[in-house]
Amino acid sequence: MKDIFYAYIQELQQTITSNLEEIDGKAMFHEDEWTRPEGGGGRTRIIENGAVFEKGGVNISAVHGALPESMQTYFEVTDVDFFACGLSLVLHPKNPMVPTVHANWRYFEMYDKKGTIVDQWFGGGQDLTPYYLFEEDATHFHTICKRSCEGHHPDFYTTYKKKCDEYFWNTHRNEARGIGGLFFDYCKANDELNMKDWYAFVTEVGNSFLEAYVPIVQKRKDLEYTPVQRKWQEIRRGRYVEFNLVHDKGTLFGLKTNGRIESILMSLPPHVQWVYDHNPEKGSEEERLLNVLKKPRKWV
């Protein structure tokens, strides 16, 4: 399974980056292949200062070795080895009318000292972080998410939409990072689904990403915006940074397993602000967004 899934994310990385380059029309992805001293490596692709994308990364990795003690405590295991591979992407568009997007699809195995698999699971999802709320964009994104779930289990969309709303929650701000999507983790073989079934589900979600996001980009990328709206985008990007550095499991896992810091922190936007006690004007579009982020909504 690990070989099959790693081959899949290699192909998916190529598909996504080539499509994004075509949309941007100016910038190209810079590729950086790297190795991890403890085992494994990855292929980082970064786009910067484009016509559409101010910064973005579409990264794949496959790492392995002894599970660090800090992560043994987290997973409630003893001395085991691990393998982890996945594709992680974050795109920060230049125009504040275009939402930031994040997605991740991953596979994990743990082994005893004889090399026998003792646990394995899939995880991942995709979520949208708008700076200005276009409800039809939120509906489109969630419609594609729902459709990618429907053929696999009747409860998947409802369950994983709820988990996404709960996970991407800045508890110290008491607000959502964005308008959600899907989030799933520890997807293991059970009485209903085997690992091949989970693979089929995760890859369908991965394959749906471009259809979920690209039409929104194309619709909003040429809209006019003001310096005030740009400032609001940078303030909201600050909330994005806060979540990734305080709460995000993937960031914390990478830091605790001696991950490649450049790849881990590629999710951070290039221009960001923290303004003391900033509150939007009453009745403004900025306030409307905040009201939605205070309480997750049903979009489809």
pLDDT in tens, 142-169: 999 999 999 999 999 999 999 999 999 9
**Measured between alpha carbons, how far is 53 from 27 in angstroms, rounded to an integer?**
8
pLDDT of residue 41: 93
Select which of 30, 64, 92, 102 is catalytic.
102
Residue 294 contacts residue 178 (beta carbons within 8 Å): no
**Measured between alpha carbons, how far is 120 from 4 in angstroms, rounded to an integer?**
14
Tell me whether residue 102 is one of the annotated catalytic residues. Answer: yes
Burial code of 220-245, b = ≥16 C-beta within 10 A, e = fewer?
A: bbeeebeeebbebbbbbbebbeebbe
pLDDT of residue 71: 74
How far, in Å, are 117, 136, 248, 264, 296 from residue 9 at the CA level? 22, 30, 21, 17, 30
pLDDT of residue 252: 81
What's the first-to-final CA gap in the chain, in angstroms? 33
pLDDT in tens, 90-122: 999 999 999 999 999 999 999 988 888 989 999
Alpha-helical regions (H) of 168-226 = 195-220
pLDDT of residue 236: 97
Domains of the chain: 2-294 (3.40.1500.10)
Task: Label residue 136 exposed, middle or buried (CB < 10 Å: 0-12, 13-18, 19+).
Answer: exposed
pLDDT of residue 133: 98
**Amino acid identity at 223:** L
pLDDT of residue 265: 87
Neighbouring residues of 166: CB distance < 8 A, sequence distance ≥ 6? none
Residue 5 contacts residue 199 (beta carbons within 8 Å): yes
pLDDT of residue 263: 82
Q: Is 277 left (phi over 0), alpha (psi -120 to 50) or beta?
A: left
pLDDT of residue 173: 94
Residue 268 contacts residue 274 (beta carbons within 8 Å): no
Give the tokens for residue 126: 């995709």
Q: Which residues of the chain have pLDDT under 50?
A: none
pLDDT in tens, 229-247: 999 999 999 999 999 999 9
pLDDT of residue 253: 75
DSSP-derived secondary structure for 166-182: HHSEETTTTEESSSEEE
**0.75 exceeded by pTM:** yes
Residue 248 has, within 13 A of its CA and on its CB side, a CA count of 21
Angle at 93 between CA 92 and CA 97, to 5 degrees: 125
DSSP-derived secondary structure for 14-68: HHHHHHHHHHHSS--PEEEEEE-TTSEEEEEEEEES-SSEEEEEEEEEEEEEEPP
pLDDT of residue 67: 82
Neighbouring residues of 22: CB distance < 8 A, sequence distance ≥ 6? none
pLDDT of residue 251: 85
